[in-house]
Amino acid sequence: MSQNLISLALTAEQLTAVEGALATLEQNLGGLIALQPAQRRSLTKMGDKSEVFCRQTLKLLQQNPQVVPPSLDVAEAAADLVAFDQIGSFLLRLTRLSERAEDTSTALGSDLMSFALEGYGLLRVSGQNQGLEDLRRDLGARFARRAAHATPEPAPATLG
């Protein structure tokens, strides 16, 4: 095989441990939500600079409750900040792990695709002498190009 970006073999015990860890995470993080893409786009975002602004505003409003109308729930905002900090404590690790899993999957897929293309090339060259032409042709269907759809000619206009 000409390309081998990664060799990975997970044991049954490792896979069982990973599944158990994921089940534990899902159980303990049951309150997490999933936003629809449109919802995500429409939300007001809090970036790094905005985070400082939010923290300072919350602190000032907690210190000056006389200016806070009943419609502005300072206690809920404080609880949101605590939860935000709690999630932040593990979100970076989860993101890095997820990215590494994606990269590993991509590398494994690339290794396999490179192998398959190289093997297919060998079948094209030497497979004819080995009686493998029909099997190679079946594999080649992956590369078949679709014919362009011909636009139907309009029906002739009738006088009537």
Give the pLDDT confidence of 83-121 residue by residue, as tens digits. Answer: 999 999 999 999 999 999 999 999 999 999 999 989 888
Per-chain mean pLDDT for the chain:
89
- Residue 9's pLDDT band, with cuts at 50, 70 and 90, is very high
Residue 147 pLDDT exceeds 70: no
Residue 136 makes CB contacts below 8 A (sequence gap 6+) with 120, 123, 124, 127
Burial class (CB in 10 A: 0-12, 13-18, 19+), 121: exposed
Question: 146 or 110: whose pLDDT is higher?
Answer: 110
Backbone angles phi, psi at 95, to 5 degrees: -65, -45
What pLDDT is recorded for position 91? 97
Q: Which residue type, as a one-letter code, is found at position 138? A: D
Spatial distance between the Cα atoms of 93 and 25, rounded to a whole number of angstroms? 13
DSSP state of 130: G
What confidence score (pLDDT) does residue 108 get?
Answer: 97
d(CA 37, CA 50): 22
More confident residue, 143 or 4: 4
The predicted model scores a pTM of 0.73
Q: Please work out, in degrees rounded to the nearest 5, the angle formed at the alpha carbon of residue 67 by the alpha carbons of 64 and 69.
A: 125
List the domain boundaries for the chain. Answer: 48-143
If one counts every other C-beta atom within 10 angstroms of the C-beta of residue 104, the result is 13
Confidence of residue 123 (pLDDT cuts 50, 70, 90): confident
Cβ atoms of 74 and 68 within 8 Å: the answer is: yes
pLDDT on residue 159 = 61
Closest CA to 32 of 89, 83, 100, 94: 83
C-alpha closest to that of 105 among 1, 2, 8, 3 = 8
CA angle 49, 54, 56 (to 5 degrees): 100
pLDDT confidence tier of residue 135, bands split at 50, 70 and 90: confident
Q: What pLDDT digit, counting tens, does each position of 28-68 carry?
A: 999 999 999 999 999 999 998 999 999 999 999 999 999 99
